[in-house]
Chain A
Amino acid sequence: MTGLGGPLFPIPTGSLLALGALLFCIGLFGALTRKNLIIVLVSIELMLNAANINLVTFSRLGVNPSLSGQVFSLFTITVAAAEIAVGLALLLAIFRLRRSSEVQDLNVHKW
């Protein structure tokens, strides 16, 4: 079995991928069900980090290990930071207008 972390504690690829899948599912569930916008943003970050865990795992333990996975995850982290910065800025803007950061208060658009 392919292992990471030395002879005493080899961590199998499957466990790491399972961790990623778990994070992704928690994030997806949170993003779709939570009411507070900040929690929704945090959940989306969890999903992005799940993808990062996958990328880093594969870059070390994948079918063809290569550095590009780690480089990719660096870019992902930066892009996620930019996305979250814009997200929080929009949240501040809506909070100033509505005094609320709950999803159900986003209701000015009607049919």
Chain B
Amino acid sequence: MPNTIDWLHQPYWMTMGPLLTLVVTAFLVMVLELIFRNGDRRWLTGISMLGTLVALGVALGHFNAQPSQALNTVVIDAFSSVFSVLILITVFLVLLFTLDYKGSNRLAAEHTYLLLFAAVGALAMATAVDLVTLYVGLELLSIASYVLVAVRRKSTHSVEGGIKYMLMGALGSAVLLYGISFIYGISGTTNLMSLSAVAVTMYTTYPAITVLGFVLMLFGMGFKLSLVPFHMWTPDAYAGAPSAISSFLATLSKSAAFAMLLRMLLFIFNGVADKVFFWAGILAAITMVVGNFIALPQRNMKRLLAFSSVAQAGYILVPFALIGASTVQDWPSLFDSISFYLFAYTFMTVGAFAVVHIVSEQKHTLDSDALIGLYHRSPWLAVALSIFMLSLAGMPLTAGFLGKFYIFSNTVQLHTPWLGIVLFATSVVSFYYYLGWLRKVFQHNPEEERVAVPISLPMNTLVALCVVLTLVLGLVPATLLHPLLNAHWVY
């Protein structure tokens, strides 16, 4: 029985450090918001960003620390550190993004702590090794996201996007939970460590139920990751939500869901990877093809970015599928591909949403014709957008190129060339719509008055940060790859 002295000095306070810091910050901001009712309350966002930075510091301190665990539920290992850092950086960028909403355009004050609660859920998904905690983390993230999408409750677009996301998300979690229940049934435990010990026995005794569990879990997470054919909510939710929230959905919830999917599938199915992981390959191929082709005719900028994020999720799913064709020695290289691509994807996507936000705020439209002549109105934004688009398309010298290159070389090394070919071919298709934007940006529009685009300080900082990070990852990938390669991946 634990007594007072024992649990106060347990090292698990440190293990759960980032998580606890964010929880405390979120409740603090919530209470402050209730006390101070008037005026410009963006300082609450400031406090949130400060809390996020502290949590980020703690998480960075965990990097290369000895693996440890608390209460059999939360662990520190390379996996959790990499994804915690990514999640916290993303939350910071999104909070910076929300600073731009002020005056008549302001969001309901709840968005600040809803973002923090969502981040707590995301951190739980990245650090937990128990199915119960993973599920609760996923739901915390999802439920907060439903509300965040519908945060403009007087706007039909916003609320409708929220409802569609909520219905699809709830359906996804029901499917996921049903799959988890079978895995629990044939193993008798929800702890991933214990599950990985009985994985092979589980498959040899109940092959059908194990495969059913895998498929249900993959499909359930497919709703959250907006993989085709579970992506129907994506364009509506992204287009309906304020741009800051769209960028949050496209990056943070995807990183967290990928972290959870990877951890779950790897621990539960580690001995039988070659038997089940081809399902992920099929989903990845469908997602890449459909995502890229539906994006082609899109005129609404946010809908295009939504379909682009669907396609990008397909690229990131490719290394998952390769787990089935690999041995344990290959896994670190696959994890590097996944985490590198997620970092690169996060920076370029948040940047792209930021530029779209600035342009659409000036022009009061989401039609991509608003981009025409952007170069003449704001050369800086035009160059930034070009970098993000080239990176999303995968042009050399950008982070996106290296990310795709690593994934492509994985497919070649692991003798699964068909996935590599689909990846390459669909990337070529994506050039059409990404570069289509660039053509508009540099197009000359004589009727257009040369009104400079107003950019607020937070947005300038955000775009600059995203540009720098995208370029650094593209030009000096060693900055990120080096820590990734030296990390102790535990499985």
Contact = CB atoms under 8 A, between A and B. Distances in A.
A84 to B, nearest CB: 8
A60 B235 CA distance: 43
- Listed residue (B142, B150, B180, B184) with the most chain A CB atoms within 10 angstroms of its CB: B184
Given A54-B185, A64-B188, A86-B166, A109 B161 contact: yes
Contacts of B171: 28, 31, 44, 47
A33 to B, nearest CB: 13
B188 A87 contact: no
Contacts of A69: 181, 184-185, 190
Given A44-B171, A47-B174, A58-B188, A98 B156 contact: yes
Interface in B127-175: 131-132, 135-136, 139, 142-143, 146-147, 150, 153-154, 156-157, 159-164, 166-167, 170-171, 173-175
A64 B401 CA distance: 48
A68 B189 contact: yes
B326 interface: no
B420 interface: no
B217 to A, nearest CB: 12
A62 B182 CA distance: 10
Interface residues on B, range: 35 or more
Given A82-B143, A109-B235, A76 B177 contact: yes
Given A51-B177, A71-B132, A109-B160, A44 B150 contact: no
A55 B184 contact: yes
* A contact patch SS: helix
A7 B412 CA distance: 60
A8 interface: no
B298 interface: yes
A65 B177 contact: no
Contact of A68 (B139, B182, B190, B298): B190
A69 B190 CA distance: 8
B55 to A, nearest CB: 24
A56 to B, nearest CB: 9
Contacts, number: 134
* B contact patch SS: helix
A1 interface: no
B187 interface: yes
B203 to A, nearest CB: 13
A54 B182 contact: yes
Given A79-B139, A109-B161, A51 B180 contact: yes
B178 A47 contact: yes
Interface string A71-111: 11001100100110011001101100110000000101101
B156 A68 contact: no
B170 A87 contact: yes
Nearest to A40: B167
Nearest to B132: A72
B177 A48 contact: yes
A106 B132 CA distance: 34
Contacts of A44: 167, 170-171, 174
12 contacts: A20-B181, A24-B174, A41-B167, A48-B177, A58-B184, A62-B184, A63-B205, A68-B132, A72-B184, A76-B177, A79-B135, A109-B235
4 nearest CB pairs, A to B: A64-B188, A58-B185, A47-B174, A54-B181
Interface of B: 131-132, 135-136, 139, 142-143, 146-147, 150, 153-154, 156-157, 159-164, 166-167, 170-171, 173-175, 177-178, 180-182, 184-190, 205, 235-236, 239-240, 297-298, 300, 303
